[in-house]
Amino acid sequence: MSAHLQREIEKLKKKILALSAVVEESVRRSIRSVEERDSALAERVIKTDVEIDQSEIDVEEECLKILALHQPVAIDLRFIVAVLKINNDLERIGDMATNIAERALFFNTQNQFEIPFGLRGMAEKAQAMLRHALDALVNLNSMLALAVCAADDEVDDLFRAMFDQVVAEIQKNPGDAEALINLLSVSRYLERIADHATNIAEDVIYMIEGAIVRHGAKDFKPQSAQQ
């Protein structure tokens, strides 16, 4: 690797990690804005989405510049391809955080009501998946990335249970239908955050191992685990 290419890749790493930190904080704040009925916090999340969108563009442009100027190969090429994909997932997670914050603003126009069902547990699991996926990226840890992939089914199960509970609650209390549907939307956004965290974890595995595990992460054994 040329010294110039190495500097460019290090700069790219800093950009994607900085974006990761902003996105993770937006998700945390969006969930707090729902749980604590905090409109000011929700507005901060919505405003931050502009920053996330611009950072996503900056990272993509940096990747394309490196590809055009240096034509990297092998692990350097895998890194840049993975960053391009992770960058897109981070931007989409930022959008999900914004959507959750918008639902928080809606809830604050309604009468006080307790957040029912297993939403808090689902939020904790989705946040943990995102945190672990980003930790796997920072530390280039294939085993941690695989654990994120394995956790996705659990969040999917929680979303299905939430859907059934909301439908049953609407039947019992049709007057609360609008609030309950918005609550279901929050759980859907959390499920999507978990999906994007899984995508990031799969791209981290590709970055490290050179293996595409999108359709078989459960059966994949990292080289580090085989030694």
Residue ranges covered by each domain of the chain: 3-226
pLDDT in tens, the chain (227 residues): 588 888 999 999 999 999 999 999 999 999 999 988 999 999 999 999 999 999 999 999 999 999 999 988 888 999 999 999 999 999 999 999 999 999 999 988 887 666 666 788 899 999 999 999 999 998 989 999 999 999 999 999 999 998 998 888 889 888 888 888 999 999 999 999 999 999 999 999 999 988 887 766 666 666 655 44
> By C-alpha distance, which of 12, 42, 50, 26 is closest to 137?
12
C-alpha to C-alpha distances, 55 to 33, 86, 87, 105, 143, nearest whole angstrom: 23, 13, 9, 25, 28
Rounded to two decimals, the pTM is 0.90
DSSP 79-101: HHHHHHHHHHHHHHHHHHHHHHH
How far apart are the C-alpha atoms of 180 and 167, rounded to whole Å?
9
Q: How would CATH label the architecture of 3-226?
A: Up-down Bundle (1.20)
How far apart are the C-alpha atoms of 198 and 217, rounded to whole Å?
10
Helix 177-209 / helix 119-139 crossing angle, nearest 10 deg:
20
How far apart are the C-alpha atoms of 78 and 64, rounded to whole Å?
13
129 CB contacts (<8 Å, ≥6 apart)?
148, 151, 152, 155, 193, 194, 197, 198, 201
Cα-Cα-Cα-Cα dihedral sign, residues 85, 90, 94, 99: positive
Tokens read off for 141 = 């840890």
